[in-house]
């Protein structure tokens, strides 16, 4: 299968119940959060059945992800103490962010998140008893108290705040890279998404926003976020940064921006959308 020419946005069909027999299968192999690749491929791609067999690794769990055309796609967990087989290598998920196309990155992220959910929910968080895999959906069930466990997602907002043709960008206090980006934060229990936008902006930079508009979303598997993107307009207040989170925050003219985030992320998409609208004179 030529993975570089496949449009996974349309070719991938997600599913949870795997086939009894598949004429063709491919595998995304996860070990302690790292992803296995094969030296035979110039650009990373899921392993074929033969490549998985040749790797000689002990499989701890297998999870059906869905179909790409007629090929069954599985996430596979192998022992975290596994050494790299000859001709293979393990790399962190971050490595793939700019190394493969975005839809293949999402598929890798899906595999990693499902493997980690399965591994960390072997026992019930309510009574401590062992959980078992359900057969008809992606869940685990405690056989003693009946509590169900499903893969966890953590919704978060990311917002591009503008004041006319200026945009508010901030530098994360803990980031290793020297770039400015838009503001983001996790949704708290009991909040609407719009309330989260207002709270996060106020907490991080001390200003109020208005005219909040939804932009789009992105799966962000670091570790299990769903990023919900927004544009918002400045309403009132002066910048006062939350120093535990940010080292700097400023208003920047749309044509004089500092080092921005990569365009593979929704933060980059939001900033570019603001630039395009500012150049066009749109509100």
Residues 192-223 pLDDT 10s: 999 999 999 999 999 999 999 999 999 999 88
**Closest alpha carbon to 109 in 181, 12, 216:** 12
Asked if 218 contacts 224 with a C-beta cutoff of 8 angstroms, the reply is: no
H helices of the chain, where?
8-11, 49-55, 102-120, 193-205, 266-280
pLDDT score for 49: 94
Give the integer Cα–Cα distance in Å for 14 and 16: 7
Express each pLDDT in 70-124 by its tens digit. 999 999 999 888 788 999 999 999 999 888 989 999 999 999 999 999 999 999 9
pLDDT higher than threshold 90 for residue 158: yes
What confidence category does residue 130 fall into, taking pLDDT thresholds of 50, 70 and 90?
A: very high
pTM more than 0.85: yes
pLDDT score for 114: 97
109 backbone dihedrals φ, ψ, rounded to 5°: -60, -40
Q: What tokens does 214 get?
A: 């939804």
Query: Given the DSSP bridges, would you call strands 34-38 and 88-91 parallel, antiparallel or unpaired?
Result: antiparallel
What confidence category does residue 174 fall into, taking pLDDT thresholds of 50, 70 and 90?
A: confident
Nearest-5° angle of CA 63, CA 107, CA 218? 125
Express each pLDDT in 3-40 by its tens digit. 888 999 999 999 998 888 888 999 999 999 999 999 99
**Closest alpha carbon to 1 in 75, 55, 64, 51:** 51
H helices of 95-245, where?
102-120, 193-205
**Closest alpha carbon to 135 in 14, 17, 15:** 17
Local structure of 80: helix, strand or coil: coil
Give the integer Cα–Cα distance in Å for 167 and 210: 14
Query: Given the DSSP bridges, would you call strands 140-142 and 246-253 parallel, antiparallel or unpaired?
Result: unpaired
Domains and CATH numbers, the chain: 8-119 (3.90.79), 121-150 (no CATH), 154-280 (3.90.79.10)
């Amino acid at each position: 299968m030529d993975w570089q020419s496949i449009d996974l946005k349309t070719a991938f069909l997600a599913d949870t119940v795997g086939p009894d027999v598949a004429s063709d299968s491919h595998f995304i192999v996860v070990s302690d959060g790292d992803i296995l690749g094969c030296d035979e491929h110039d650009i990373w791609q899921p392993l074929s059945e033969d490549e998985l067999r040749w790797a000689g690794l002990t499989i701890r769990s297998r999870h059906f992800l869905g179909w790409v055309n007629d090929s069954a796609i599985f996430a596979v967990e192998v022992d975290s103490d596994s050494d790299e087989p000859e001709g293979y290598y393990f790399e962190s998920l971050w490595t793939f962010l700019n190394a493969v196309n975005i839809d293949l990155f999402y598929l890798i992220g899906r595999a990693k998140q499902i493997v980690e959910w399965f591994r960390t929910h072997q026992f019930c968080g309510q009574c401590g008893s062992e959980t078992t895999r359900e057969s008809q959906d992606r869940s685990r069930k405690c056989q003693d108290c009946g509590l169900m466990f499903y893969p966890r997602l953590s919704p978060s907002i990311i917002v591009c705040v503008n004041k006319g043709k200026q945009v508010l960008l901030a530098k994360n206090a803990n980031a290793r890279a020297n770039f400015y980006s838009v503001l983001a934060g996790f949704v708290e229990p009991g909040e609407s998404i719009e309330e989260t936008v207002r709270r996060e902006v106020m907490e991080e930079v001390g200003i109020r926003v208005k005219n909040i508009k939804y932009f789009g979303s992105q799966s962000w598997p670091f570790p299990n976020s769903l990023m919900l993107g927004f544009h918002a307009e400045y309403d009132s207040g002066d910048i006062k940064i939350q120093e535990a989170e940010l080292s700097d925050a400023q208003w920047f003219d749309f044509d004089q921006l500092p080092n921005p985030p990569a365009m593979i992320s929704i933060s980059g998409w939001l900033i570019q959308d603001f630039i395009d609208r500012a150049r066009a004179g749109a509100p």
